[in-house]
Structure formats: structure tokens, C-alpha cells
Structure 1
Amino acid sequence: MEIIERAPAKINLTLNVLGKRNDGFHEMRMIMTSIDLSDRLTLTSKEQDEITLSCNAAFIPLNKKNIVYQAARLLKETYGIQAGIHIAIEKKIPVAAGLGGGSSDAAATLRGLNRLWALDLSLEKLAELGEKIGSDVPFCVYGKTAFATGKGEIIQLINDFPKCWVIVVKPPKGISSWTVFEELDLMSIPRYDHQRMIEAINANDYEEVVQYAGNALEEISTQQQPTIKRIKDKMESFGVDVAVMSGTGPTVYGLTRQRSKAQRIVNGLKGFCKEVYLVRTLN
């Protein structure tokens, strides 16, 4: 038996860091939405009781280090599943990009195996399980628009994000999240009004949404990779309504409602950066 699951990327519309927790993580306030840039996972039953992986990207580990493997093992061990599974990962989301590609792959694995093994678990239960392997996995289980608190694992769904075009630009070099948080000075980073953003999204008010978008980690990541600011400046000069770094970076996205303008911006950016994508928000 075979199941196919899409694993969409996410972007951070707002990202705030409130402080460091006793468990070593940081207390977060984030609003995220999914975009139509997706990995594709094919989950195929095996007679032999084992988990095996394959991937079209050569640099992805195909062992216990892979979060997809961890997700499959978690379900097997939690529910005593004595069945084998092969998971083929077709990567389209850039790696180490701040787009949640690995977390989304893990979430897709949980959803797909829930169907394949007829576990009949709710999304809430899958999100609860997903928290054990990554803070972004619970959001990715839902794949909608949400307000995330705690480490990012406490999810409150909100209305769909207004329909628009998303220009996604990934610089060649990735950023390790831990290096960004290591350099974090909580007294100097900005704060963004997530409550006003939630109200704007719930009202489907695109003009308000672009006013309140922002990422508190952007300046720190830009110090590591000045390319982030250069991409933002290019996007803004080409006419995006807003340009924001996603997650800990280095990917920057820009929003516009006009298809023709979006395509012009993409064409302008392709000479500046190799990985440029034009996608829609997911509803």
C-alpha cells in the first residue's frame, strides 16, 4: 500500500522572542502560514519490519538522524506497530532556510502513517506527538495559519491568510538556528504586534497584514549574512508590499497581490540569487 503526502513550507509573518525558559529554549510568539512550496513524501508499506528512507537530495541523511525517520519510529514505538515502511522524500523546499522543510516532512510522515496504519488519530494528537521531535512540527501538522506560543509548539489556529503571491529567495549559505539564539540580546531586539496581525488576518485585511509583518531575529541573522539585507533592499526597490526574513533565516520572502508584478520581481531577483521561487499562500 502507498500513501502520498505533501509537506508545505512555512513562513513567519511575525516572530517575537520574549525570554529564555528554564528548559534552555526561548519563549516565542509567532504567527506562521503555509505556502505552496512543498516537499513530496511517498510512504510505501514493506514486508520487513524496518524503516528505510530515500531522497532526491544527496546531502540529506537517510538514517536515524533524519527527522522523518524519527517521526516514523515515534509512531511505531508509541502504538506498537510491527510493520515496515519505506519513505521516499522528494525535496523542493531549501534546506537550513528558515522555511520549516524538515519539520514539515516529519509532520507529513505523521499524517501519512496515521492513514496508512489506520490509527485514526486526530490532528491534535499528531501535533502532540510531533512536539517530541521538533518545536515547529505541531504547526506543520496542521499546515494552516496559526499563532504559535511556548517554544512554538502551542498552536492556536486563526483564519486563512489573505490570498497573495509570495516571492521566496534563499541565499546560497544556510544559517544554524542555535548560532542565532546564542547571539540574542533580548534588550535590543524589536517587538512586533502579533495581536494586531491576528486581527488583520481574521479580517482578511491584506493592507493591514503587510504593515505588521516583521521578524525580531532578522538583524542578528543579517550580521551573520549581510546578503539578507541586500535581498530585502532589492525586493523593496522592485516594489513588494513587504519583505521579511523567515524563521532564523536566511530566506527572505516578499508579498504582493499582483501576478504581473510578482513575475517582474522574480525575473529581477534571478540575476541576483540562484534559488528564487514564486508561489501562493495556501488556503
Structure 2
Amino acid sequence: MVAAQVLFTIMGVCTRLGSQRLPWSEVAAARALLGAVVAIGLARMRGASLVVHDKRLAWARSICGTVAMICTFYTLGAPAIALGDAVTLGATSPIFIAILAPWLLGERSGRIVWVATSLAFVGVALVAGPSFRLSGSLSLVALLGAAASALAMIWLRRLGAGRSGSPRESPEAIVAHFSLVAGVTLSLVALPTLRAPDLEGALFLLGTGASGAFAQIAMTRAYALDRAARVGVWSYLGVVLSHFAAIGILGEREDPTGLAGAALVVAAGVWLTWSGLREARATAALASPSFQCSDEPSCAPKPPCQTGR
């Protein structure tokens, strides 16, 4: 997930620069189509299957992911909203995951999740507030993209876990399916304003597509390995990296209130991560064969129980 966030940051910078020369829809279409090429190529190299077994979930993931991609690239390509702010609003998807996971995945969210969620939404209000009159619609589009992305990640988690007795989908198969659906959709959106890129524009298209494709594969693998809410909070690293990139590479000026809001969003993510790691350690300790199996009140580890197994 950390590797995915570094690559997504590169994608965001290339998208902002590429959108200065080309329509945002063309940049997004290139990202999706190159994503399909990379996923299929990696599958051939690894000998991984590109067959999608659970077509219903795959289509649900791809449709939600396509909506999220449209919203994301629309805001990333818009100069009216700072890159860091656009990424911060988009990075609220783990918060939506934490809210929806109990109903859609059966993964219980405790009190810490809800407190952290409230903290994150205060941060969102601070990020969107200073520029809301100028880019309020963009802020709403970014949040819509975050909600759609959360649904896509939930379906991705269910695809990665697989059903009992059914084969698992490979990360390459999931990414290829999503990329092809998004690529066809965005190509149709881009057709009315299609423009031939110059050399620099073509390099930005390539950078956007390649970094986004490899990031998608890394993220897909991450969601297949652990609980959605716990993995998702690592996407907050992308917020920090994007703000640094906006200042250092793009030369954008950051509003102090917006930075404070971004800090709150990141703090909520770090808190959720810390609580998730504690929960994982506690679960692992209870599952350890050296843990006591008696009904004694003591929680001290004991030698393996003689249960005949």
C-alpha cells in the first residue's frame, strides 16, 4: 500500500501537468488503457490467470471504480483546486470504507473508528472551506469520487477474499477488467475533445498511465491481504506526499487552514492504523497455540493444551 501511494502521487503530478496541455478526459483514458496493457503484460510474465470468476462482483468493482476515476481525474486536472486539496478530499475513501464495511463486509467498526471518522470529516471541512466559493462543485465531485472509490475497494476486498470453494481472482485479472471498462468509458468521453499530444504531453500521458497502473496492482494486492478498513488508512500517506509534491514540484501555494485540515485527516488515518495493528496483535495472540485454553481468569500464555489434536 505504501508503494501504491508513492506511485499514485507520481500519477497526480503527471495528471496535473498533462492536463495543462490536454483535456483531462484524454489523460484519464490514457491512464485506464495503459493500466490494462500493464496488467495483461504482468499476467503473461507471471503466468497469472486473467479469467474473472465472480463476474457480478467484478462488474460492481469496475463500475464504481470508473465513476471514481472520472471524478478523480476531473478534479486532478482542474487548476481551480490545489493538487494537495484534491488528493486530501479523495483520500477520505477509507473513512467511507470504515462506515460501509460493517454492512457490506461484516467487518465490525469500533468506537475508535467512529471518533477518527468525525476527526477526518472536520479535516475535510477545513480543506474544502477556504476555497469552497471558488471550487465548491469540485470539492463535491472529489467527495463523490471518494465514496465511489470506497465502494470499489469493498467489492475489491470481497473479490480478493474469494468465496468458499471458488478460485481466487488474480490482482492482474481484477485490474485488467477494471481498466478495460474504464478505458472504453473514458475514451468515449474523450472523443469530442480528443487532441494529438506533443512530445512532452505524450510523456505525461505515459507517466500517468504507467504509475497509475502499477499503483493499482499494488493496491489490489494490499486489499486482498488484509481487512479493508485497516489497509485503507495507509492511503493517507498519499495525502502527505501530494502536498509536498504540490509545493516542491508544481510550486502551488498551500493555505494554512487547508494544511491544518490535511493534518487532521492524516492524524485520523494514523490513529486508525495504530488501533488496527493493536487489534491484529491481540487477535494473533488469542489464536496462538501456546495461549491457554482453560476457563481460568488469568490471561498468561501457557504450554500448548492437550486436546488430542
TM range (shorter): under 0.3
Q: Who wins on radius of gyration, i.e. which is larger? A: 2
Report the TM-score, using the length of structure 2 for normalisation.
0.25
Larger RCO of the pair (alpha carbons < 8 Å, separation 6+): 2
Report the TM-score, using the length of structure 1 for normalisation.
0.26
